[in-house]
Amino acid sequence: MIPLILSVVLISNPSIGPSALKAAPTAATAPAPAPLLQGVMVTLECTAKASGRVEGCRVMDETHPGLGFGEAAITLVNGAQVEPGPRDFQFARTLVFTP
């Protein structure tokens, strides 16, 4: 039955040649999926102003430098609000990114 269908397709559309008919990739030929990043952590040092606004964050450490996680962590934390206090204080926080 399949050879008959293939013959009808080839006759009705002669532009389809053997090079256009490719087999689906098998497990041996399919590209391997990209590995998931596990344990992505970024440690930031920031200043909490007396008003409660967080600012001045900088990356102290990150598990995968150069992939943008440090910048993403800064974007998430800078401008956040914490409990207002009597004075400015510095703190460190580690953010964990999970897939």
Q: In residues, how long is the chain?
A: 99
Token output for 25: 């990739």
**Number of separate domains in the chain:** 1
**Cβ atoms of residues 57 and 93 within 8 Å:** no
In a domain, 53, yes or no: yes
Residue 27 has pLDDT above 70, yes or no: no
Calculate what percentage of the chain has a pLDDT beyond 70.
67
pTM of the model: 0.62
Residue type, 4: L
Say if 76 falls within a structural domain: yes
Asked if residue 77 is part of any domain, the answer here is yes
| pLDDT at position 74 over 60 | yes
Over range 6-22, report the average pLDDT. 52
In a domain, 26, yes or no: no
pLDDT of residue 23 exceeding 70, the answer is: no
> Is 15 domain-assigned?
no
